[in-house]
Structure 1
Amino acid sequence: MAVDRTPVLKRCRSLDLDPVYLGIDKKSKRNARSGRKLSEYGTQLKEKQKAKFIYGVLEKPFRNYYAKAQKLKYGTVGENLMILLELRLDNVMFRLGYGRTRKEARQIVDHKHVLVNGKPVNIPSYQVKAGDVIEIKEKFKGAQRYKDILEVTGARMVPAWLEADHENLKGTVTQVPTRAEIDVPVNEVLIVELYSK
């Protein structure tokens, strides 16, 4: 499996991205780069790379999400793309606060710690739906790992489209998020422009 090994904070700087969006609290010193103006294509490409980086998605799956977003009958392609990325199981785990970062949430899913509607799911890209109940398997609930994670993420705001029950390490997708509820600094219109060339 392909893995991006670029140092996270370095990548954040190159994409002008605040590490907070990745669940990292370090305020990296913003280095004043030369004010080189990006071309239109460069700006569009940067937005796509930002979205891929935030959600930890590689090029081919990202393209597949875009194709799926185009086929949906409601909403704009860009908004649909963001919603599809937001409804990935690893991202929902991160949003519920059961992973300090999306990478950690993905690892938890990979290691078969997660149940969706009572069934084990170990596919980070699994698309959750409104009404789905996501929880940590009973045998892992007492693990120190989750106590440590909740200590860090407990105060994190759980988005309005999710309901979290930290006592039982459980969460419910109450509805599909709207673009306004997704606090990711990505201009999806530029991604659509890039792909529609």
Structure 2
Amino acid sequence: IQYLLGAIWVSLVLVCDYSDPILTSIAFAIVAITVLSWNKIKKSRLYIRFLLYSVSVISIFSATYQQDLSVLDWGEGKLYIDLLILALVVFLVLSIRMTRRELFRLDTQDILVLLVLGASSVLVVGFDSGDQVLSAIIRLAVLLYASEYVVGRVKSFTTVKVLTILTFLMVGVTGIL
């Protein structure tokens, strides 16, 4: 699942034409902090969550936001990314269903995510591209649930850190070019 997450992040960043100096600075700062404190954050689930959540949000935003139009637009050429996200959902469902351990219990955070998903359909009524906002929120929710699954199941976070650093470097380089 973590490799599929990495493939989705990299694909989202590769298809985007969005570049912003602030986003570039944030990406390089996160890479620098992660590399400099590699050993200190070896087992920090909080920092890993921060990495996973921030790379998911930035990659979805970069792929969705069209700078020239100042609107959200998913575009028609990104079907393969949706197929990757669909494969991620299938793997998540199978992994959660087939595991014997109870890693995922319904708690207030899950209810909050469901509330955001439910309320987003009401909130996007005022936007011209409301369906784009809703689809971006749903894609982001899938990535965040996959991130939580990775944080809950993975013992060593080396692969996840490398994939997030790679994605943030791509965001930074895209911002420079």
- The structure whose residues are more often helix, as a share, is 2
Question: Higher RCO, 1 or 2 (CA under 8 Å, sep at least 6)?
Answer: 2
- The structure whose residues are more often strand, as a share, is 1
TM-score by length of 1: 0.29
